[in-house]
Structure 1
Amino acid sequence: MLNTILNGLLPVAFVIILGWLSGRIGLLKHDDAGVLATLVIRFALPFALFEGAVKTSPDKLHNVGFALCLTLGLMGTYVLALIVGRFVFRHDLRTATMQALVCAFPDMAYFGAPILASVFGPEGFLAVLVGNLITSIFMLPLTIVLTNLGGTDQPGSDRPDILRIFGQSVARAVINPIVWLPISGMVLSFAHVTLPEPVLTSVDLIAKAAGGTSLFALGLMLYGERFMINSNVLTNLAIKNFLQPAIMALGAVLFGVVGAPAHQAVITGAVPTATAAAMFALKTKTYTADATATILISTILGVITEGLLIAYFF
């Protein structure tokens, strides 16, 4: 059990610290993380998900209960956090939407994928694959729509624009490599197509860069972020690091997900807040301080909660 925990978490913590140190001693700048992020999101991770889908048997991909469990965990947390932000903290719609994104969007690309791959092998990418489709097609377009609604003075007057924005955001998600490449891998798996070994070796070469590069970029992104505690941040941590995995566990029970898929879902729920949430906050100039503080503390806390879950399951 100890070896499982160390194999899953020690490399993660080690590479994150290396990224943080590279910023601390001036070898790299905070803005350089953007280049690494582009490599991961546009190339390495899409091909890693493609490879995981191709190498996963169709019966494991055709798991509707697993997809419903992840949908409940991700979107259920989003709706709950939106309600908390709107009616408990009395935020306006745009700010409440940013809080919902911070609480519900797990860092599957940078933090989750390396841990799941280390603990579950190539099948560990299944949770990242399905979760990424849910966030890309549902959560992020909904966030864009709600932030635009929150920025209008007269609700209803811009509805045609909102519908257009929603359609454009979904279209951009569908043509994004991180969406269509994994779907292509799933299609090949369902069609029982076996790719030639040189092709798989070529894909594997870039796919291997996803884990280390993403964690290094995460550490570099976290350098210089403010450590801040307030009621918003504490609530966000409670929802993201503890309530979301609990909702995933509930979904596993409701939809009959057992064994490794159930463990993957819960571990995915415990993954800390995605750095992309801070990017959205910066873009909309809303909730930025609370978002970055939540990401910083959630990442530190995530190492502990993930270790406890791995210890419990294994």
Structure 2
Amino acid sequence: MLNTILNGLLPVAFVIMLGWLSVRIGLLKHDDAGVLATLVIRFALPFALFEGAVKTSPDKLHNVGFALCLTLGLMGTYVIALGVGRFVFRHDLRTATMQALVCAFPDMAYFGAPILAAVFGPEGFLAVLVGNLVTSIFMLPLTIVLTGLGDKNATGKGQPDVLRVFGQSIARAVINPIVWLPISGMVLSFCHVTLPGPVLTSVDLIAKAAGGTSLFALGLILYGERFVINANVLVNLGIKNFLQPALMALGAVLFGVVGAPAHQAVITGAVPTATAAAMFALKSNTYTRDATATILVSTILGVVTEGLLIAYFF
């Protein structure tokens, strides 16, 4: 079991360290992380989510109870964290939205997948695929909309036309690749459309860059940033590493999910914060320091929580 955990953690630490060292020895600069963030958010991650959706059997996507369980865990955490950021820490809407994303977006693809596959076999990928669809259809578009509203509120030009701003934000979300590509993949899956081998190979080539590039960019971000543990980070850790798996367990009870799928959902909830959340924070120039600190500590803490959950279930 220790080997399973190390298989998920060691590659993460290795690639982050490579990014950090690249700045340390002068090969790259701290500011270069912005270019890599654009690559991840605009190209690699959207195609990775598209590939996961289009390769998922529609029969597996029809497990409504399991999907509702993951939706409650992911979006319930998002709403709670958004409220905490807005009303407890008194952040502006843009900052509170980034905090919500950091608390609610688990690293399902690059930390969770190896652990789930090792414990549950091939069916362990179902939680990753369905969870990524939930984040693609609900969480990421909502983040884009709320940060768009936050931008308008920050202009200082009086009260904005909320409906107009909301419509503009929705339009930007719809045309964002990280939204429409995964949804397109899901539609193709439901229509039983099989893409030609060369097309899937082409998509896979850029999709594989998402995980490594995100982690490498995180290493660039870390260099020169003063590592902090503050109230924001501690609350984020409590919400991400403990509240989210608890909400997954509640969802399993409410929607009648039992056995291996219920265990998959809870273990997925305990997965650390996704590095893609730091990419969003970097691109929006908001909450970057606390996002980075949360991801690092969440990853370390995630080893403990995942190990305890696996020991408990098995």
Shorter-chain TM-score bucket reads 0.7 to 0.9
CA distance in 2, matches of 1:215, 1:283: 15
Structure 1 residue runs of 5 or longer lacking an equivalent are none
The 2-side partners of 1:122 and 1:171 are apart by 37
What TM-score, normalized to structure 1? 0.78
Which sits farther off after the overlay, 254-263 or 11-20? 254-263
The structure-2 alpha-carbon separation of the partners of 1:262 and 1:12, relative to structure 1 and needing over 3 Å to count, comes to farther
Q: 1:287 to 1:9 in 2, by over 3 A?
A: closer
In 1, distance between residues paired with 2:35 and 2:94? 29
Distance 1:4 1:91, change over 3 A: closer
CA distance in 2, matches of 1:52, 1:280: 21
Q: Are the aligned partners of 1:73 and 1:247 in contact in 2 as well (CA < 8 Å)?
A: yes
Deviates most, 166-175 or 282-291: 282-291
| CA–CA separation in structure 1 for the residues paired with 2:31 and 2:142 | 28
The verdict on how the C-alpha distance between 1:88 and 1:205 changes in structure 2, with shifts beyond 3 A counting, is closer
Deviations 1:233-289 (A, max 9, x none): 212211112111221222122222345543443343233334565566677776555
Q: TM-score w.r.t. structure 2 length?
A: 0.78
* Equivalent in the alignment of 1:249: 249
Distance 1:208 1:121 in 2: 21
* Preserved CA contact (<8 Å) 2:58 2:189: yes
Contact 1:19 1:216 in 2 (8 A): yes
Which runs of 5 or more residues in structure 2 are unaligned? none
Aligned to 1:93: 93
Q: Is the 8 A contact 1:124 1:264 kept in 2?
A: yes
Counterpart check, 1:266 vs 2:266: yes
Matched, 1:200 2:196: no
2-structure distance, mates of 1:197, 1:96: 42
Q: Deviations over 1:88-113 (max 9, x none)?
A: 45556665555434323334566556
CA–CA separation in structure 2 for the residues paired with 1:281 and 1:211:
17
Q: 1:54 to 1:94 in 2, by over 3 A?
A: closer
8 A Cα contact 1:109 1:214, kept in partner = no
Range with greater deviation from structure 2 (170-179 or 155-164)? 155-164
Structure 1 residues 123 and 95 mapped into 2: Cα distance closer, same or farther (>3 Å)?
A: same
Retained in 2: the 8 A contact 1:129–1:182?
no
Q: Percent identity?
A: 90
The alpha carbon displacement at 1:171 in A equals 2.4
Deviations 1:97-139 (A, max 9, x none): 5543432333456655676677767766654554455445544
Q: 1:60-139 alignment to 2 at 5 Å?
A: 60-89=60-89, 96-108=96-108, 126-139=126-139
Change (3 A) 1:161 1:153: closer
Q: In the aligned structure 2, how far is the partner of 1:196 from the partner of 1:284?
A: 36
Measured after TM superposition, the shift of residue 60 of structure 1 is 0.5
CA drift at 1:57: 1.4
Q: Which moved more, 1:157-166 or 1:58-67?
A: 157-166
Q: 1:311 to 1:218 in 2, by over 3 A?
A: farther
Q: CA distance change for structure 1 residues 34 and 119 in 2, over 3 Å: closer, same or farther?
A: farther
The number of aligned residues is: 314
- Larger deviation: 139-148 or 245-254? 139-148
- Indicate whether 1:33 and 2:45 are aligned: no
Aligned-pair CA distance for 1:59: 1.0
More deviation in 9-18 or 153-162? 153-162
Map residues 120-199 of structure 1 onto 2, 5 A cutoff.
126-139=126-139, 142=142, 161-199=161-199
Alpha carbons 1:114, 1:211 under 8 Å: kept: no
CA contact 1:52–1:122 (8 Å) conserved in 2: no
> CA distance change for structure 1 residues 94 and 202 in 2, over 3 Å: closer, same or farther?
closer
Distance 2:282 2:44 in 1: 25
Q: Is the 2:149–2:166 contact (alpha carbons within 8 Å) kept by the matching residues of 1? A: no
Query: In the aligned structure 2, how far is the partner of 1:150 from the partner of 1:211?
Result: 28
